[in-house]
């Protein structure tokens, strides 16, 4: 844990720590769209996954602007440059730093699945062909250094497939699977590992992010997996 005196420029912190900086700053985003935030006091958040986000004192959890990983951050006195793999740049110009604070959060166990989500995972483990012909189950709850992957499968060609199962698929679930894939693809016994994001419903924003990261989305029918047939007689 570290608190920098007010006015000191940002410095490199712990690799796995979350970093919170309160500073008067302006922000410019240059990419497919350009955006500018004029000088104001804001909260800058640098997370262990490499993401950088800028927050105001409103809008609940939603940042004013952000850069998702993978990206690289370069720090110089008074300026942060955050660049993603597409070459888009988030430039943060620091006029005055009031607090610069880092804290090691450690490994997060992740969300505890509710009854439906846990049962959905169990059913998909029994029916790995849901993800494609020839898919077979290797293990449920495959443990990584940052938590368990719901399902580890092999496809028809014998390649590894990591599946994250959610009842409702949102951006947080895609981020979670991205971190798992980053670690698993470093293991020569598993790599290359394909990611699959499976849910009863997948939000459009989550689908866009997953597709951008090469993760396949699969919408699953919970009732069908349970062997329940929908009523054939309907009013209309």
Q: Which residue has the higher pLDDT, 189 or 17?
A: 189
Assess whether pLDDT exceeds 80 at residue 232. Answer: no
> Residue 49: its pLDDT value, please?
80
pLDDT tens for each residue of 151-165? 999 999 999 999 999
Angle at CA of residue 148, ends 144 and 153, nearest 5°: 90
Distance, CA of 114 to chain centre: 20
Average the pLDDT over each of 14-28, 143-157, 179-193 and give the range with the smallest value.
Answer: 14-28
The boundaries of the domain holding residue 69 are 2-104
205 pLDDT higher than 80 = yes
> Based on the structure, what is the number of domains in the chain?
2
- pLDDT-derived band of residue 5, with 50, 70 and 90 as boundaries? very low
Q: 109: pLDDT confidence band, cut at 50, 70 and 90?
A: low
Distance CA 102, CA 203 (A): 32
Residue 7 belongs to a domain with what CATH number?
2.70.180.20
> Is there a single domain that holds both residue 85 and residue 130?
no
Average pLDDT, the chain: 85
Return the pLDDT at 196. 97
**What is residue 236's predicted lDDT score, i.e. its pLDDT?**
36
Helices (H), the chain: 115-126, 171-184, 204-212, 222-225
Find the mean pLDDT for residues 69-86: 91
Q: Domain ends where: 84, 104, 124?
A: 104
Q: Taking the model in full, what pTM does it have?
A: 0.53
Q: Would you say residue 216 has pLDDT above 60?
A: yes
The confidence band for 229, taking pLDDT boundaries of 50, 70 and 90, is low
pLDDT band at 221 (very low <50, low <70, confident <90, very high): confident
Domain endpoint, select from 104, 134, 163: 104
Q: With DSSP H G I counted as helix, E B as strand and the rest as coil, what are the percentages for the chain, rounded to 5?
A: 20, 45, 35
Q: How far is CA 117 from the centre of its chain?
A: 19
Beta bridge partners of 153: 137, 161
Answer yes or no: do 54 and 126 share one domain: no
Q: Are residues 90 and 147 located together in one domain of the fold?
A: no
pLDDT (0 to 100) of residue 55: 95
Question: What pLDDT, on the 0 to 100 scale, is given for residue 235?
Answer: 39
The CATH code of the domain that includes 161 is 3.40.1350.10
Q: What percent of the chain has pLDDT over 90?
A: 59
- The reply to whether 178 and 137 lie within a common domain is yes
**So what's the pLDDT on residue 3?**
44
Looking at the fold, whether 76 and 122 belong to one and the same domain comes out as no
């Amino acid at each position: 844990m570290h608190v920098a005196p007010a006015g000191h420029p940002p410095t490199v912190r712990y690799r796995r720590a979350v970093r919170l900086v309160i500073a008067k700053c302006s922000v410019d985003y240059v990419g497919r769209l350009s955006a500018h935030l004029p000088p104001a006091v804001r909260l800058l958040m640098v997370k262990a996954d490499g993401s950088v986000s800028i927050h105001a004192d409103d809008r609940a959890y939603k940042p004013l602007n952000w850069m998702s990983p993978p990206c690289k951050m370069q720090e110089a006195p008074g300026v942060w440059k955050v660049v993603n793999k597409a070459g888009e740049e988030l430039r943060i110009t620091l006029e005055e730093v009031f607090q610069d604070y880092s804290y090691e959060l450690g490994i997060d166990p992740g969300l505890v699945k509710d009854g439906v989500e846990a049962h959905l995972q169990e059913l998909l483990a029994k029916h790995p062909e849901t993800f494609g012909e020839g898919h077979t189950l290797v293990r449920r709850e495959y443990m990584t250094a940052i938590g368990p992957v719901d399902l580890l499968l092999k496809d028809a060609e014998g390649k590894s497939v990591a599946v994250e199962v959610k009842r409702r698929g949102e951006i947080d679930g895609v981020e979670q699977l991205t971190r798992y894939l980053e670690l698993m693809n470093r293991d020569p016994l598993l790599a290359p590992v394909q990611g699959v994001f499976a849910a009863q419903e997948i939000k459009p924003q989550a689908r866009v992010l997953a597709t951008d990261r090469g993760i396949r989305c699969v919408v699953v029918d919970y009732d069908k997996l349970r062997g329940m047939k929908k009523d054939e007689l309907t009013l209309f």
